[in-house]
Copies of this chain bind each other. A is one copy, B any other.
Amino acid sequence: MKYINGGVCAAKGFSASGIHCGIRKNKSKKDLALIVSDVRACAAAVYTTNLVKGAPLIVTKRNLSDGYAKAIICNSGNANTCNSNGIEIAQGMCELVSEYLDIDAKDVIVSSTGVIGQPLDIEPIKDGMQTLVASLGDNSKDAAHAIMTTDTAIKEISVSFELGGKTCFLGGIAKGSGMIHPNMATMLVYITTDAAISREMLQKALSEDVCESFNMISVDGDTSTNDMVCVLANGLAGNLRIDCENADYAEFKKALNIVTTHLCRTIAKDGEGASKLLECRVINSCDKQTAGKVAKSVICSSLFKAAMFGADANWGRVLCAVGYSGANVDIEKINVEFASKAGRVAVCKNGFGVDFDEHLAKTILLESEIEIIVNLNSGKAEATAWGCDLTYDYVKINGDYRT
């Protein structure tokens, strides 16, 4: 397994582009992305569980019902959600891709992110299509830029790995939580690979992976209407097609998990207003589900997130969040430690506070990536969740936008 450059264009037969078409006023911010596979690819996706679903998501779900796709189009600046003509516009975007790439409109994945409740004008997209298609190439970074909203950095990664002697590539781009009035946080992730894998196994790999990756991050506890993670696998690596849970499947899942975990960490770290990444690792749990509940509860606690912003070793808030997580744990067995590049400090043992070096704790918590280790001392399972601190800037971004 090797880290390589290329993002969604690392895998054979994938090209991408990102341009400014005019949905956004700011001309220096790209707002339209396209990712294309030279050949039809197996496609797997997972979607938001919010009952309010963006129109693009409904169209994508319909298009992916046969398990194949060839292109992904995504605009930022408008979520095309809660608009009465939403489906029509999302469908229109697929038809534009169909026309310009000469492919079936049903082979297009469509997403939108940004403002909700404001009609999305298709004209700028129509006008931009020629440039968008002409720009297709090894341009993963352009696509990653075009899908950003209030993200402060592009999110991209790719790896290579071997399957039966054949080198395969798998890479992805993501956007994290951002807002433009009036909308909500949205997360979009696109992953491409040239590994040959059946639709069923691809969906299985993705569905299993998100339980440990994207379902374990939280910026502010709000589940978006437009969240989507999708993977295209075009098989051009020439490996023996994966169609059961064999060693190749395990290797594929490993590659997928490296990419998704990286994207999770970058999304959490670049959460709205965030100044630091919080990684809560729950260890020695009786089972994985319990560990997961505890880890998510900790990184979702507003009180704890605010304490981390202040570099305050407030372990009582960790214990409190464990206590209301809904997980069945024995509080009097719990140890808590904080760690970062600057060191490691134990703050709670068997559910009670221990004396600790406040200066060391402060030094550890002033770093930009903080690990919170919750040891349940009740078994061997573990889980990790990622979040970020709660800062003045979160309130500013989400409260002051129009004032």
**Chain B residue at minimal CB-CB distance from A327:** B51
A262: Cβ under 8 A from any B Cβ? no
Is B52's CB under 8 angstroms from A303's CB? Answer: no
Report how far A193 CA is from B222 CA in the complex, Å.
41
In the complex, the answer to whether B390 meets A316 with C-beta atoms within 8 Å is no
In the complex, whether A400 has a CB less than 8 A from a CB of chain B is: yes
A120 part of interface (Cβ distance < 8 Å): no
Q: In this assembly, does A329 line the interface, its C-beta being within 8 Å of a C-beta of chain B?
A: yes
Interface of chain A residues 19 through 59 with chain B (CB within 8 A): 49-53
B-contacting 9-mer, from A98-106, A132-140, A346-354: A346-354
Q: Mark A272-305, 1 if CB is under 8 A from B, else 0.
A: 0000000000000000000000000000111100
CA distance A196 to B21 in the complex (A): 74
The answer to whether A222 touches B324, judged by C-beta atoms less than 8 angstroms apart, is yes
Cβ contact within 8 Å between B398 and A395: no
A210 to B81, CA, bound (A): 37
Q: Which of A114-144 contact B (CB under 8 A)?
A: 116-118
| B-facing residues in A63-87 (Cβ within 8 Å) | 81-84
A82-B316, A323-B50, A323-B225 as given contacts; A395 in contact with B309, CB under 8 Å:
yes
Listed stretches A164-172, A175-183, A228-236, A246-254; interface member: A175-183
List the B side residues contacting A329 at CB < 8 Å: 51
* Distance of A315 Cα from B316 Cα, bound (Å): 35
A107 at the interface (CB under 8 A from B): no
Chain B CB within 10 Å — which of A83, A302, A308 has the most? A302
Q: Is A344 an interface residue (CB 8 A)?
A: no
- A225 nearest CB neighbor, chain B only: B320
B-contacting residues, A243-266, CB 8 Å: none
Q: Is A184 an interface residue (CB 8 A)?
A: yes
Within 8 A of B (CB), among A372-403: 389-392, 394-403
> Is B353 a contact partner of A117 (Cβ separation < 8 A)?
yes
Give how many A residues have a beta carbon under 8 Å from the other chain's beta carbons.
Answer: 66
> Is B181 a contact of A312 with CB atoms below 8 Å?
yes
Does A331 count as interface, using CB distance less than 8 angstroms?
yes
* Residue ID in chain B nearest A49 by CB atoms: B324
List chain B residues, Cβ under 8 A from A187: none
User: Chain B residue with minimal CB distance to A219?
Assistant: B302
Q: Which B residues touch A309, using CB under 8 A?
A: 395, 399
Kindly list chain B residues whose C-beta atoms are within 8 Å of the C-beta of A324: 49-51, 222-223
Q: Which residues from chain B contact A81 at a C-beta distance below 8 Å?
A: 316
Question: Which residues of chain B have C-beta atoms less than 8 A from A403's C-beta?
Answer: 310-312
Asked whether A392 lies within 8 Å of B390 as measured between CB atoms, the reply is no
Which residue of the partner chain, among B83, B310, B319, B331, contacts A398 with CB atoms under 8 Å?
Answer: B310
Contact B323 A399 (CB under 8 A): no
CA distance A83 to B82 in the complex (A): 51
Q: A222-B303, A331-B51 are in contact. Are A184 and B399 (CB under 8 A)?
A: no
Q: Is A394 a contact of B222 with CB atoms below 8 Å?
A: no
Query: In the assembled complex, which residues on chain B have CB atoms less than 8 Å from the CB atom of A390?
Result: 395, 398-399
CB of A306 closer than 8 Å to a CB of B: yes
A216 CB-CB contact with B under 8 Å: no
Beta-carbon contacts under 8 Å, A184-199 to B: 184-185
Name 9 extra pairs, CB < 8 A, besides A50-B323, A221-B221: A51-B331, A83-B353, A185-B303, A222-B302, A222-B324, A223-B320, A309-B395, A390-B399, A392-B395
Q: Which 4 A-B pairs have the closest CB atoms?
A: A52-B323, A310-B399, A306-B398, A117-B353
Q: List 11 A-B contacts (CB under 8 A).
A: A50-B323, A51-B329, A52-B320, A52-B322, A82-B348, A181-B314, A182-B316, A183-B316, A222-B303, A223-B320, A309-B395
